[in-house]
Structure 1
């Protein structure tokens, strides 16, 4: 995630009275970094809403004065994140409470490219100050630095490691843990949503996706649930 502070200026923030935490939960999306390596597995850029508690724990700690200043600017701070359609996968190990997930290099590259784009978008939109959300994250006052200083900041912040626990990496909309397919050896469910192993057992959520989508799966889940439900009704009618 990144943040951008926008000062009071009609051309930058048209609705002066509006706060960053008001309005829709997620209001904009860009695919500018989706296909930078021709794989369609790049990063989607989105703007989420954020409350003060979440914002405060994401920001890097420098001093009490610094965090006070950032919280004071919260209502006019925009938040943008890069969402990667990952190619990696995980497994449950030892117990239901322990999982193992190894991020692939291509996923790291996609996130880095996404963060680079986000920082540039913030600056181009007129943010007075931009920064990244991680333990070692820094901020930059865009209009007070040279072009070379800006480029150095963007390159350094977007290339920070995402596997040394210094950068928060979140997972949302888990998918394909019980993938659907036409081969029992490569899938858990058939195309109708019924498990290969247990007759009459159906699933109709994101776990049956053949692969990760890279976008919010709400509408896809609704469609699969509807189609699966229609099939179940047909099965029940035949058994009557």
Structure 2
């Protein structure tokens, strides 16, 4: 069944837009008529950048979302150019694992805390005042692994749990003004994950385009009653 969405009056900021899920999310909103601001630490001039920067209604912004000054400047540039912000989708994230906690380096901790949690926090911090004006929405990306402990990737799970709880707190603080939800995919079907796990059952992995469709739905008027939600996305069942 095909579902149509109309985001023609929306200005949407997507972080992590240079990755598989981020670029799929950008395309989903473009298909629905939104003006999309695609932000990432990489830009269109970098090798492998997945988006065509010449698409109508697409603007690209190169910024490190672990750097508060860079985040503030990017958000100010977006609002100055487009006059408003309606939606924030924080896709920027990474995975590190393989070792038990006692063998995990502090560098791994810093990386996961910065890329997974700090980027979501800083984006929300600087975008929220604008969303409070427009009555907008936020969607973050957590993980089904954030719901329980596991072996070998405890710090990743902890960082994604932090993203989920941050989102739930934003929803509570902005009840009636800004909606905030998180999606919790299982393993995402990306080239990098297939290379890392060539013998896994890829059929149960979640397609980035399917996740992007759920994100777009959560940002739509159809989902207006939904806030503080944590939506699992998993084909294994």
TM-score (norm 2): 0.27
More helix by share: 2
- The structure with the larger Rg is 1
TM-score (norm 1): 0.27
